Structure 1
Amino acid sequence: MHAEILFENGWVYTGNDAGPVRADLTVAAGRIIAVGRPEDLNGTVTPETRRVDLDGQLVVPGFQDAHIHPIFAGIEMLQCDLTEAANAQEAVALVARYAAGNPDTPWIVGAGWSMDFFPGGTPTRDLLDAVVPDRPVYLVNRDHHGAWANTAAFTAAGITRETPDPAGGRLEREPDGTPAGTIHEGAMDLFNDVKPAVPYELAYQGLLASQQLLLSQGITAWQDAWVPIPEGGHADHLDVYVDAAKAGDLKVRVTACQWWDRTAGMSQLDQIVKRRQRVAESSDPLLLNANTVKVMVDGVAENFTAAMHHVYLDHHGHHTENRGIEFFETGELQEFVTAIDAAGMQLHFHALGDRAVTDALDALQAARDANGSNDQRHHLAHLQVVRSEDIPRFAELGAAANVQALWACHEEQLDTLTLPFLEPGAEDRHYPFGELAAAGARVVAGSDWPVSTADPIAAIHVAVNRTAPGEDLPALGPESQKLSLKQIMDAYTHGTAWINHLDTDTGTLEPGKLADLAVLDHNIFDVPAEELHRAVVTQTWIGGECVYNRSTDATDQDRKTRVLQ
């Protein structure tokens, strides 16, 4: 077969080798036909072959994100976007500017504020009232486990001092019980009936906006970790993906992870299976599938809703009675996990606290006991704290560790809102990626964008160093929790390809695989670890098509690829 494209004069990391090799790579009909020395490829290269001069750059398999929220992120970028704020004052100023620029918008909705901007991580309604007193304002925080609202929003939702905290959530309150402004977890649902629905066109444009940014970061596939059955007039994100695939607008390979509604019970499984089938009948499985179910087991540590075996401490270091929130009773969790597994679907767990990890692994054990072993490739995401006795269970159960490596470093939110309230020694057990890998767990990687940047290079830097780029803080935890560059590169490529059941066709650069690849401006295997974050994606290719070229496609959004959010 004659080569249509030749990548020459550079380095190639195939994923099967210990490191990059000096080699050329040829492509035909969207797939790789050879990787090797120039003299070995002469028989396939013709005068008509398109030559791509790498000029010493590094070709790697395309990055694949195992836990991301692109449509929600795109919608938020097109609304009141607070991700660029550096402090509380800037966040409020951005709200004021957005409100002034959108005077006819009935509600100001958006996201992206950081908890560490505010004392205790809980902003108050009066800050918003000062700049937008006449319209409801509702802003989700960066980790999407809480929101900030003004007085008009609470009034519109009918929330008063008499409103009880719902199951699985709570309201921050003033001394007399009046809502103070911050809403946690399930209490966010109290606004569902009054917030404006997200229209289809906004969701579609959000997908395209996100895809443009993610392609510039070398991302060629992802697992969307939150695709709910729509309610209240909101656009159906599954329809958005299906329509984008049909129209040729969807370039990346997507696994749509269907959301398990904790209020809907077992009856939703039939609809989830039917939605999976609808996608299977309408879409190329190499481009789009919906064979995964997302289960939110607990909350997050910053607002004390991550489910822990040990109680949280108070501001004086004394034990409280709070061990976080488990969104399901043990029996209920095991019942529906077993049923989902029996339906041939993959489980994708949000499990952040160590008790949530135990619960998720116990549920997978119950499913295996009932259904036997299979190739569903279940995975647990986040894994902020894991008990030592649960570490080997990942390999035993074939459950992958889905890591968000960017978070595994000292930063203000962790150091002020989390570590002081956990038991002594918790820092050494934080994000135990190295320990999981050493115990034989399969490691896959994701970003959780827009919770934090989707940039794989930034996450790779932290995984290797356990410090954020440019920071002089000590590394988080012991050396044993670090991953090697190869380990995290493989997690971001063929690890996630395996999770997405795309490993037969993607994830490594070898003959027969699809030509899904990214080009980095230099060989990151040949630089000091503290310089890893300086690498830049210059090209992204999917199926032999160049879908991003930094020299011609650079936009204002490119700057976001280098920012830790």
Structure 2
Amino acid sequence: MSDEILFSGGGYFTAGMTESRTGGAVLVRDGRIAAVGSLDEVSAASVDPRAATQVDLAGGLLLPGFQDAHVHPAPAGVEMLQCDLSGADSAEETLALIARYAAASDDDWLQGGGWTMDHFAGGSPHRTGLDGVTGDRPAFLVSRDHHSAWVNSVALARAGITASTPDPADGVIERDADGTPSGTLHEGALSLLDGVKPVADEELAYRGLLAAQSHLIALGITGWQDALVGEGLGFGDSLPLYLRAVQEETLVARVTGALWWHRERGIEQLPELLDRRSRAAALARPDLFMADTVKMMLDGIVENHTASIHGHYRLPGGDAGSGLDFIDPERLGAHLAALDSDGFSVHFHALGDRAVTQALDAVEALGGSARRHQLAHLQMVADADLPRFASVGAIANLQAFWARTDDQLRDLCLPILPPGARERTYPFGRLARAGAALAFGSDWPVSTADPLAAVHVAVNRTGYGAEPEPLGGDRDKLDLATALGGYTAGSAHANGRGSTTGRLRAGYLADIVVLDRDPFRGAPDEIGDTRVTQTWIAGTRHH
């Protein structure tokens, strides 16, 4: 059999074009792209066109493999294998799923997640509802966004959390009127269960990682950045899982690990980070796994008032402050400088506009850097900070699926934010026009991992099939080429793989995806109809 593969019969998008091109072809040889162009040009580059394996695109579109620049595969996969609540459409359906899982499970603890805040009053489910379906077994169920957990009375008792337990500095215990914990924990309060609830054992976690890999590849994702490699937010350390997957040759996607920065500590943890990076490098398979990035979580989320914002939250009880700074802004610049000088790129969780300002200040203070420093989430960005991404060389890591007016944004976020917040919400179009380098990620399991669902929102600023007006009107819509380019070449750059993947270009690795249609030829509000039909990594088909 020939070692050449010829893709033809459709169109292609190189991630460097403003449109797709029809009637073209792509030649793959020995796992790399050998030629891109017209069928005649590509055939002329073939060693023996008659012997090449022929792949008919059937009128679809060929493009570089999607790369997710912010995702949590191992915990997402474990949740798929545990009590998965991500498909529930109401509080009642959520409780029914928990009851069904509890009846079928003999686990000592009931764990899983994916419940949605807007299904519950104030975004905080109560322990009594959970008590009614879990019996005498403790339950710990994380929210869809992984910034909160729903626990029952048994779990609270096991952890010794009572009315007299103070809120941790970086978290909140929701309480009844008499001070009794109500059953919802936010941010750092989740750690009150550390050492009490069991963590997923290595075999379950490993199966979760591989299940997640299969799911992501089926969505056309050929590589990703794991945005939390370490123990944090209730996640177990996925570094041993990746090391094992490389050694056992079960990892086929290309992964960049963002090593977790423990926010309660300082630069004294740098030797540990260097050691963990060295463990990954010792595998000598940087094409599959490397850990040259550090994840710093600067703030929380708007819904539980922990996102760090300019101004103050507006709640019925009055001023609720301006959120939390998980890392002292006065020390942030020194931390970043030390990491940068040791060759680490830093991946900031910066959701509120004050956190964004703090991160940009720290990057600017470097006076220039060759690293891939990036800010993820960007729910709000101050107008003055929009051009700073380009001027300081920071990547805007976008979770585009969030840029729509869903129930959670409309009911739990916008009403409590300062005046003008809607105008500063997910300003993707303005970032692009200001010259920011864009990368795209899903934050799965917080939201769907489907790149095409996110691209649909990026272009339309509404969910697929949704009726609401575009979030922010038209000014922050992205054109389709920019959105697809961000999810391919842009994320490849953010993941440190931009010189070998993310584009259809001769010499690049043949990590490619086939879509069932060319979304450039259809209406923008039909992008969400598009489906991935084939996923290839290094010239081998995996879906």
The amino acid that maps onto 1:15 is A
Look up the equivalent residue of 1:228 and give its one-letter code.
G
Q: Which amino acid aligns with 2:334?
A: E
Q: 2:69·2:491 contact (CA, 8 Å) conserved in 1?
A: yes
- Unpaired runs of at least 5, structure 1: 549-565
2:215 aligned residue (207, 213, 216): 213
Q: What does 1:193-272 align with in structure 2 at a 5 Å threshold?
A: 193-228=195-230, 236-272=237-273
TM-score (norm 1): 0.93
1:33 maps to 34
The correspondence for 1:374, drawn from 362, 369, 373, is: 369
Alignment counterpart, residue 464 of structure 2, candidates 462, 466, 469: 469
1:327 aligns with 2:330: no
Change (3 A) 1:396 1:47: same
Do the aligned partners of residues 42 and 164 (structure 1) sit closer, same or farther apart at CA in structure 2, a change above 3 Å counting?
A: closer
Assess if the C-alpha contact under 8 Å between 2:442 and 2:448 holds in 1.
yes
The alpha-carbon distance between structure 1 residues 87 and 515, as it changes in their structure 2 partners (threshold 3 A), is same
Alignment match, 1:24: 25
TM-score norm. by structure 2 comes to 0.97
The runs of at least 4 consecutive aligned structure 1 residues that moved more than 6 Å come to none
Q: Is the 8 A contact 1:379 1:401 kept in 2?
A: yes
- In structure 1, the residue matched to 2:162 is 160
Between the aligned partners of 1:264 and 1:100, the Cα distance in structure 2 is 41
Match runs of 1:134-173 below 5 Å: 134-173=136-175
What secondary structure, in the 3-state scheme, does the structure 2 residue paired with 1:138 have? strand
State how 1:270-281 maps to structure 2 within 5 Å.
Answer: 270-281=271-282
1:82 aligned to 2:82? no
Q: Per-residue CA shift, 1:253-293, capped at 9, x if unaligned?
A: 00011000112322211111111112112131111100000
CA distance in structure 1 between the aligned counterparts of 2:57 and 2:196, rounded to whole angstroms: 54
Partner of 2:314: 313
Corresponding residue number in structure 1 for 2:50: 47
Q: Specify the code of the residue in structure 1 equivalent to 2:214.
A: Q
Residue 95 in 1 paired to residue 90 in 2?
no
SS of the equivalent of 2:426 reads coil
Aligned residues of 2:348 and 2:374 also touching (Cα < 8 A): yes
Shift of 1:49: 1.2
The answer as to 2:404 corresponding to 1:405 is: no
Letter in 2 for 1:270: P
Residue correspondence of structure 1 range 279-290 to structure 2 within 5 A:
279-290=280-291
SS in 2 for 1:24: strand
SS in 1 for 2:134: coil
Aligned to 1:448: 443
The CA distance in 2 between the partners of 1:528 and 1:11, in whole Å, is 17
Aligned-partner Cα distance in 2 for 1:47–1:326: 62
Which string of whole-angstrom CA distances, capped at 9 and with x for unpartnered residues, describes residues 44-100 of structure 1? 143321111111110011000000000110011111111111110111111111111
Tell me if structure 2 keeps the 8 A contact 1:3–1:33: no
Shift of 1:231: 12
The residue number in structure 2 matching 1:180 is 182
Matched residue type, 1:375: A
> 1:340 aligns to what?
339
Counterpart AA for 1:113? W
> Matched residues in 2 for 1:531 and 1:139: separation?
35
- In structure 2, the partner of 1:553 is none
CA deviations on 1:322-379 (whole Å, 9 max, x unpaired) are 101111221222221121111110000000000000111112123x14xxx2211100
Deviations 1:279-317 (A, max 9, x none): 11213111110000000000000111111111011138x
Range with greater deviation from structure 2 (41-50 or 246-255): 41-50
Matched to 1:329, the amino acid is: D
Give the SS at the match of 2:156.
helix
Aligned ranges 1:100-119 → 2 under 5 Å: 100-103=103-106, 105-119=107-121
Q: CA RMSD in A?
A: 1.5
Q: Distance in 1 between matches of 2:486 and 2:16?
A: 13
User: 2:69 matched to which residue of 1?
Assistant: 66
Identity %: 49
2:165 alignment partner, SS class:
coil
Aligned counterpart, 1:10: 10
Match of 1:418 among 406, 409, 413: 413
What's the CA shift for 1:120?
0.4
What is the rounded CA distance, in whole Å, between the counterparts of 1:400 and 1:497 in structure 2?
Answer: 12
Q: Name whichever of 520-529 and 417-426 sits farther off.
A: 417-426
Q: CA deviation at 1:127?
A: 0.2
Deviation at 1:240, TM superposition (A): 0.8
1:399-436, CA deviations, whole angstroms, 9 ceiling, x for partnerless residues?
01000000001110000001011122211210001111
Aligned length in residues: 539
Match of 1:391 among 386, 398, 413: 386
> Would you say the 8 A contact 1:365–1:397 is kept in 2?
yes
Structure 2, unmatched stretches of 5+, are none
Q: Is the 8 A contact 2:188 2:233 kept in 1?
A: no
Residues in 2 aligned to 1:335 and 1:30: alpha-carbon distance in whole angstroms = 43
- Tell me, yes or no, if the aligned pair for 2:187 and 2:233 is still in contact at 8 Å: no
Q: CA deviation at 1:3?
A: 5.9
Looking at structure 2, the residues matched to 431 and 230 of structure 1 have their Cα atoms a distance apart, in angstroms, of 26
Q: The residue matched to 2:244 in structure 1 has which SS?
A: helix
Q: Do the aligned partners of 2:314 and 2:417 also contact (CA within 8 Å) in 1?
A: yes
Q: Check conservation: 1:428, 1:478, Cα contact below 8 A.
A: no
Matched to 1:302, the amino acid is: E
Match of 1:563 in 2: none
Q: CA deviation at 1:230?
A: 8.5
